[in-house]
Amino acid sequence: MNDIIISLFEDVLKEDIEANLKISSIKLLGGGCINSASKIETNHGDYFAKWNSNCPPNLFVREAESLNELIKVNSSLKIPQVIAFSEPQANLPAYLITEFIDPSINSKKIQDEQLGRGLAEIHQFKNENFGFYSDNYCGATLQDNTWNIDCVGFYSNQRILHLANLIYKNGVWGTSELKLLDQFLSSIKNLISHKPQPSLNHGDLWSGNYLYSSEGPALIDPASYYADREFDLSLTTMFGGFSDGFWNAYNEAFPLPNDWKTRNEIYMLYHYMNHFYLFGGGYGNQALSIVKKYL
């Protein structure tokens, strides 16, 4: 981490926290997928910062908006307070600074259950429409969050087709894959028939995006929008990392429809496609094998 970035963060923290604040140390953190991240220790507490010189300029503006929406719920989960964020300026990267969550895996079993109950609270925070106030990013992928009254239309056009077009523009998929997706989308119309209300979604809820802390479970790195809560849960089921305790607590607090698993892979498709778009590899074939199951 270079001195210019350190002095940028010190200036920002001086302005937002305390004029005599001094950074005492910076510890780089691993585990993220897209950005550089670190713990900043100061004489006025610890902070979390992430930054990127080569990302969509408003990436962190949008992440801050998602964090603030999750904070609005006032749920039992810890959501890091946003301190500052910026688009890139001159030779400085885009960045986001938030409260630092001190990780602690003490009482994992209890925190698993708290996470389930807390997510249920977030999913009970509703909107009349599907979408969000502005487009945002899952990883670095632009999401079309234009408000939509229709659940299937939102998922089909603003998630699957939107992303399929980005993959197509990269020259990775051709017209045959787009045709398969069109067929898939006509056949799933009747399968998403449970009339969900638009719930606040974390939007990128894999096991790397929650932290256990001395203050209980925290959600980090959101890409939020209002959608079927089963959309959020599809990523949760995709790579594991969520225990039976989590699922039982979630279901007790906000029971899922009996047939929710019949839609699980339909919603997973978006995340397989997004992983393919971001990371390449075998995710593309996993996406297409889901598509072919529904033709």
Q: Where along the sequence are the contacts to ligand ADP (CB under 6 A)?
A: 29-35, 37, 48, 50, 80, 98, 100-101, 208, 211, 220-221
Question: Residue 197: helix, strand or coil by DSSP?
Answer: coil
- SS3 percent helix, strand, coil of the chain, rounded to 5, is 45, 20, 35
Q: Hey, what amino acid is at 190?
A: N
Q: Which is nearer to ligand ADP, 55 or 273 (CB)?
A: 55
End-to-end C-alpha distance for the chain, whole angstroms: 50
CB of 211 to ligand ADP, least distance (A): 5
Q: Side chain identity at 169, as an amino acid letter? A: K
* Min dist. Cβ of residue 63 to ligand ADP (A): 8
Q: Which residues are catalytic?
A: 204
For ligand ADP, which is the closer residue by CB, 32 or 241?
A: 32
CB of 102 to ligand ADP, least distance (A): 7
Toward ligand ADP, which CB reaches closer, 76 or 146? 76
- Residues 1-40 as b/e (b if ≥16 CB within 10 A, e otherwise) read eeeebeebbeebbbeebeeebebeeeeeeeeeeebbbbbb
Cβ 92 to ligand ADP shortest distance, Å: 18
Q: Residue written as tokens 């010189």? A: 53
Nearer to ligand ADP (CB atom), residue 184 or residue 276: 276
Q: Minimal CA–CA distance to 71: which of 99, 42, 94?
A: 99
